[in-house]
Structure 1
C-alpha cells in the first residue's frame, strides 16, 4: 500500500468518533504509530472511546498546531520520520468550523501538497469533514482525496496542473497603499509596519511577531526578488494583513514547510515566518512574481 489519503463526511459526534476509532483500532492490530490532530473539543470524545488503548496515541489540538496550515506538513513529515519502519496512521481535521476563507484556501493547498509529496510513502491519513460545511468546501474535499468513505473516490481530481504556488490571491476589500522598499529602506518600512500594528491594537507580543515576520519577508525580497519590492498593509476580519510583492519566482512548493537543520547556513526565514504568523500565503509564478501575505489576529479599529 502506498499513501492512502482518505476523507469522510460525518453528521454527528457519534459518527465522527466511530469512524475515527475504527481506523485507530485497525492500526493497533498492525502495531501502527497513530497521530490524531483534530480540534480539542473532538479530541476528548475520541480519548474516552479508546479508553486505555489510547495511551500510545499522539493527540494534537488542530486549533494550535494547524492555526497556520503551513505548519501541518512538517508535523506529518516528522511523525513519519520518527516512526520509520512502522506502519503509520493519522487523522487530521484540517478543515473545521472555525476556518475562514483565507485559511480554507491554504488547507486545500495543503491537501494537494500531501498528495504530491507523499505519493510513494506507505501510510494512511484520514480527514474528517463535517456534513454541515458548505457544498463548495465538500466539493473541494472530494476533489482532493483519492479515497472517500472507505472506497476509491471517482471524484478525485488527479490532474497535474503545475505548481500549487501559481494560483493568485483575491484582492483585499477597500483601498490599500503600496510602499516600495529596497535595501536602504527596509528598516523604515519595517518601523512603519510596526506602527500600523500598534495603531490597530495588537498587543506587544503580536506587534513583535508581526514586525519580525515582515522584516524577514522583505529581506528575502531584497536577496532573491530583484533587490526590493512593494509592501501593503490592511485590516480584514480582525486580522492585520501584510502583503509583500517582488519580481522573484519561487519554484519550491514546500518553501517554509521544512524544519531547518542546525547545519544549514541559510533558508530559515520563511520557516520562521510560518511560526510567527497565524496565516501565511505564498504565491509565485513567472507572470505574477512572488506574493507573500501574512496575517496576525487581534486587529481592531485603528487609533489616530
Structure 2
C-alpha cells in the first residue's frame, strides 16, 4: 500500500477522537506553538496567506494571529477535512490534495506549515520542494513535531536490553514496542498500513538536524534553524512539578547540544526563502 492511501485509511479511523487523543492538542503545547508562529511571521507583514500541509482537523489553522487572512488547509483525508470544515474558520479554503502537488501557483503563499506530518510523507524532500515552489520570496517554511532520529535510535536500542528502567523510560519503550498492537486493537489498523503511513517512525529512525538542513539547503532556503524540543519526561515535570522546572531543564539540555540530542523526542525547523 502506498503512503497516501495508508494515511487516508489511518486518519479516517483516527478522525472522530483525534483532537482528544493526540497529546499535542494540550493547552501547554498550543501555547508554545502559537508563540512560535507569532515570532516566525512577525516580519512577514499583514494580510498573509498560509498553506498548512497535512492540516488534519486544523491544529495549526486555529492558532494563527490576525495577520493571516487567507488560510489554505491541504490534506488527503476527507474525514479530517469534514471536521475542519465544520469549524467555520474565517478565510479558510480546503484542498483535498497531495502535499506533493498542491496545485497552488508559484510564489503565492507567505507561510507554509506542517505539524506532526513529515514522518507520514513517503518523500519528505518532495514536500519541502513543493513548499519552496509555492512560497513567495522571503516567505517562511515551518515544520514541527518531527521525530528526532537520535532519540528513536537510542530508544530502539533499549528495547533489546533487559532493564529495569525508570517508569518514564519504560513508558516510551512500551509505546514503541506496543504501538502497532495498540493501533490494531483500538482503531483496527494493521501493521502493514501503519508502516506505510508512518515510514520514518515505524520502519525508519526519524530525522536528524544534518539531514533536514541538507534538504532545506537543496531547496535554496536560507536562515535555517533546526531545533530540539520535548525532552523525555517533560510533560511529567510540567504537570507534576512545575512549568518553570520543565523550562529550566529544557534550557539546560539545549545548552548541552549536540551531546544532549538523544534526550529530545522531537525536532522542529524554520527556514526562509
Both structures adopt the same fold (TM-score exceeding 0.5): no
Larger radius of gyration: 1
The TM-score, its normalising length taken from structure 2, stands at: 0.33
